[in-house]
Amino acid sequence: MGRKMKKELKRVLSFGAHPDDIEIGCGGTEALLAQKGYEITHVILTSGEAGSDRIPPWEMSAIREKEAIKAAKVIGACGVEFMKYPDGLTGFTREMKVDMIRIIRRLKPHILFVHERNESSLGHRVASELVLEALQAGSGPWFQEAGGEPWSPEIVLGYEVWHPLGRYELSVDISATLETKLKALTCHRSQTAGVRYDEAVRGLARWRGVMSLSGGDAEVFEVIKASQNAINCFKF
């Protein structure tokens, strides 16, 4: 039964508020899933056009979208979609919720990654709330204007970016893919040129690995939804 379930869990959908969030939060775990044949899609809510004080927003969004596409390839993801919401989310509309339901019903993910619920960044928190609201609403017969059939992933995991999770329920040893994760992160040159996010990511992965007793490097997650049986697919 466990083996059969593992085989069926094949589609992964990851949401990020900005173009580099997914790689930072779950890039190592995604690379492991990609190696096992999972189909991974990234959906990025804003194109991060506020991410520079030098480059104008319209140029910045184009640069960052290209960087996100490159990074996703390094991870082994199949595709990237951009929602192009204005950078600096402070809330969401019903229309945005319908957009998200439409995406979830179209891509039918078995595993879904999103920002953890208590992130210190407002934009990240709003992205998390929007996706989780859409998950709830999209799992039933409501919101027919979104089209498609009701869908609900088996596993929903919250990843950490801007501040470390105080509590987590799942730790994944990413020793085998840490370098891939860092390589993907460096594709976001417009961001990493000024700030050494790679050092923060390496340090956190090491700390997570040591403190969760895996001994290597690790990513940790808030388990928002999952059965124990489903979680077994994260034993690599």
Helix locations, the chain, DSSP H: 2-8, 21-35, 57-75, 94-107, 122-138, 178-186, 189-192, 197-211, 228-231
Question: Can you give the C-alpha Rg of the chain in angstroms?
Answer: 17
On the CB side of 33, how many CA atoms lie within 13 Å of its CA?
A: 29
CB of 85 to Zn ion, least distance (A): 13
CB of 7 to Zn ion, least distance (A): 33
Binding map of Zn ion across residues 70-109, x = CB under 5 A, - = no contact: ----------------------------------------
* Region at 164 (left for phi over 0; alpha for psi -120 to 50; beta for the rest): beta
**Residue 18 vs 64, nearer CB to Zn ion:** 18
Task: Say how many residues touch Zn ion, by CB under 5 A.
Answer: 3
Q: How far apart are CA 163 and CA 63, in angstroms?
A: 26
* Window contacting Zn ion (CB under 5 A); options: 9-17, 125-133, 172-180, 203-211: 9-17
Q: How far apart are CA 86 and CA 177, in angstroms?
A: 32
Binding map of Zn ion across residues 17-56, x = CB under 5 A, - = no contact: xx--x-----------------------------------
**Residue 9 vs 131, nearer CB to Zn ion:** 131
CB of 24 to Zn ion, least distance (A): 8
Using CB under 5 A as the binding rule, the residues of this chain from 184 to 223 that contact Zn ion are none
Please, are residues 71 and 185 in contact by the beta-carbon 8 Å criterion? Answer: yes
Strands 218-225, 170-173: pairing kind: antiparallel
CB of 64 to Zn ion, least distance (A): 11
125 is a site residue for Zn ion (CB under 5 A)? no
Q: How far apart are CA 177 and CA 182, in angstroms?
A: 9
**Residue 131 vs 226, nearer CB to Zn ion:** 131
CB of 15 to Zn ion, least distance (A): 11
Question: Rule CB under 5 A: which residues touch Zn ion?
Answer: 17-18, 21
